[in-house]
Amino acid sequence: MVRKMNQDRLEPCHDSLKVPRLPFIPEKLGDMISISIRVGIVICLIAFISLALHSSFTKPDRWFPLPEHLHVVQNVSAIDIDNSVPTNITHIVFGIAGSANTWHDRSNYGKLWWNPNTCRGFVWLDKRPNILQRDDMLIPYKISHGWTQFKHLHSASAVRIARIVYESFRLGLPNVRWFVMGDDDTVFFTENLVNVLGKYDHSQLYYIGGNSESVEQDLMHSYDMAFGGGGFAISYALAARLAKIMDSCLHRYFYFYGSDQRVWACVNELGVPLTRESGFHQLDIHGNPYGLLAAHPMAPLVSLHHLDQLNSLFPDHSQMHSLRKLISAYHLDPARIVQQSICYDHLRKWSISISWGYTIQIYTSLLITADLQMPLQTFQTWRSSSDGPFTFNTRPMNSDLCQQPTIFFLDQVRKVSTGSVTTYKRYVDKEEKTCKRADGEVQIIKVSALMLDPGYWKNVPHRQCCQLMDGGSIKDGSVHIRIRKCRAQETITI
């Protein structure tokens, strides 16, 4: 017995690790429970070690993923915080409002301005388009999601389009400073857009755009709203704030008419006002936009909208041909396109107004500068096709064709050294052929100018002067005019 007791003392003690059996549990069942508990302990130990290792190599917000709409709002990695680099086209993400049914035709507008090598963004469609030609997809597309859940009083598509800002932000693209919204029939002048946005700090809350030209439209919607067809820009900082409230905001404003009005309402809830830039053109007008572009405000041309609803910019040309001609001048000197210069031929008592890259007007009388800077009313209001009011002053077009100015339209553009020479050809309406004009000898006007520095618009702009060369002499039906900086103490006067 002593030997057995000594042997028991020498054996390892395993009893402390054993799960004590309860007297009322059968022995086999107790063994099964014991094994199960041991396996559970091992599994828990493995899980703990795995979690510890996983946490060492992943961000905490990945342990328990947030719902997508909340997680994206927290994503700040997309913002470009290197303010030492000037804003360029790659810092902009475009959100173009489109429809699968109309995109085939309206994609032609996008082809005029979209550069696939530099532009970023998408046209947002309501559904997958039918088989399209390859060049229809120059601008890549995405399908809008989640918009059918919102109630609406007028148009479901207005809700969908209003969410483009939100959906564009959710993409989390890198190095984004601005989100620019526009319609599929909007033509952007991207270099001028970059120069305009470059004036502002994208890390601040900015909402930039323009009003409607027709007062009746502004009264119906809001003077403080950026009209979406003309395009508007939202800084990254504001987009991040909007993303947090957008969906709940859309529920609150279900009774609004348009998408741009919904966006404005949501921006307004954040206390952000509209920063107006007069180069964004909604073109809420009917008829001929000639008068507006011939006396463009002193601001870089950023966008044109509603071009399907307006007369062609150049007579006897299709709208697409007209736009290609205008854009050919724009590419030569982007900052100068449709900028107005005024000069006088005092010997002949002529007044000359130049809208560079588009048109020239000759008046065979001396008009004050204030009148020449006021657009001729060649158009009517958008909603009622009335003669006004507009958000800018206009002057009436004389009903007598022979009393109207002689009009010259852009014919050719040519780069020369650090400048350009643009040629404008006299346009004669069929009914105007009977008019005997004092300027009838002039058939061609050539305009020379140095390239306008894009930085010109970052300072307080001043209208440039123009000067008749060679004393205003007419050679072979041609007149030469030079546009230049106004000299010290020089004024534009009769």
CA dist 486 and 341 (Å) reads 11
> Helix-strand-coil percent breakdown of the chain, rounded to 5?
35, 20, 45
pLDDT of 282 > 50? The answer is yes
Question: What value does the mean pLDDT of the chain take?
Answer: 86
Element at 41 (helix H, strand E): helix 27-57
**Token pair in block for residue 287:** 């008829």
Element at 103 (helix H, strand E): helix 103-113
57 or 447: which leads in pLDDT: 447
pLDDT of 145 > 50? The answer is yes
pLDDT digits (tens, 9 = 90+) for 234-249: 999 999 999 999 999 9
77 or 301: which leads in pLDDT: 301
**Closest alpha carbon to 345 in 252, 481, 254:** 481
Q: List the 275-276 sheet strands across, edge first.
A: 141-143, 120-125, 92-97, 178-183, 232-235, 207-209, 275-276
The crossing angle, in degrees rounded to 10, of helices 236-252 and 259-269 is 110
Q: How confident is the model at residue 16 (pLDDT cuts 50, 70, 90)?
A: very low
Whole-model pTM: value is 0.83
Which of 154-168, 327-341, 430-444 is the most confident on average?
Answer: 327-341
pLDDT digits (tens, 9 = 90+) for 252-279: 999 998 999 999 999 999 999 999 999 9
The per-residue DSSP string of 395-445 comes to BPPPSSGGGSPEEEEEEEEEEETTEEEEEEEEE--GGGTT---TTTT--EE
Percent of the chain with pLDDT strictly greater than 90: 70
Q: How confident is the model at residue 291 (pLDDT cuts 50, 70, 90)?
A: very high
pLDDT at 113: 97
pLDDT at 132: 59
pLDDT at 151: 80
CA dist 477 and 97 (Å) reads 48
**Token pair in block for residue 8:** 């028991």
CA dist 409 and 414 (Å) reads 15
pLDDT of 388 > 70? The answer is yes
pLDDT of 429 > 90? The answer is no
Contact between residue 284 and residue 382 where contact means Cβ atoms under 8 Å apart: yes
Which value, to the nearest 10 degrees, does the dihedral of the CA atoms of residues 352, 355, 357, 361 take?
A: -40
User: Mean per-residue pLDDT for 59-63?
Assistant: 38
159 or 83: which leads in pLDDT: 159
71 or 333: which leads in pLDDT: 333
Percent of the chain with pLDDT strictly greater than 70: 82
Q: How confident is the model at residue 130 (pLDDT cuts 50, 70, 90)?
A: confident
pLDDT at 98: 94
pLDDT of 71 > 50? The answer is no
pLDDT at 157: 85
pLDDT at 458: 86
pLDDT at 17: 40
CA dist 328 and 366 (Å) reads 32
Neighbouring C-beta atoms of residue 287, cutoff 10 Å: 15
User: Mean per-residue pLDDT for 305-334?
Assistant: 97
Q: Which amino acid is at 27?
A: E
pLDDT at 155: 82
pLDDT at 8: 42
Q: What counts of helices (H) and strands (E) characterise the chain?
A: 13, 20
pLDDT digits (tens, 9 = 90+) for 203-214: 999 999 999 999
**Token pair in block for residue 126:** 């309501």
Contact between residue 482 and residue 447 where contact means Cβ atoms under 8 Å apart: yes
CA dist 112 and 115 (Å) reads 9
pLDDT of 6 > 80? The answer is no
DSSP alpha helices (H): ranges in 333-398? 369-372
Q: Is 370 helix (H, G, I), strand (E, B) or coil?
A: helix
pLDDT of 409 > 80? The answer is yes
**Bridge partners for 86 per DSSP:** none
**Token pair in block for residue 26:** 């059968």
pLDDT at 63: 36
pLDDT at 22: 46
User: Mean per-residue pLDDT for 40-49?
Assistant: 63
User: Mean per-residue pLDDT for 25-44?
Assistant: 59
pLDDT of 88 > 90? The answer is yes
**Token pair in block for residue 272:** 């952000």
Q: How confident is the model at residue 46 (pLDDT cuts 50, 70, 90)?
A: low
pLDDT at 13: 39
- CA angle, residues 71, 76, 78, in degrees to nearest 5: 110
Contact between residue 435 and residue 402 where contact means Cβ atoms under 8 Å apart: yes
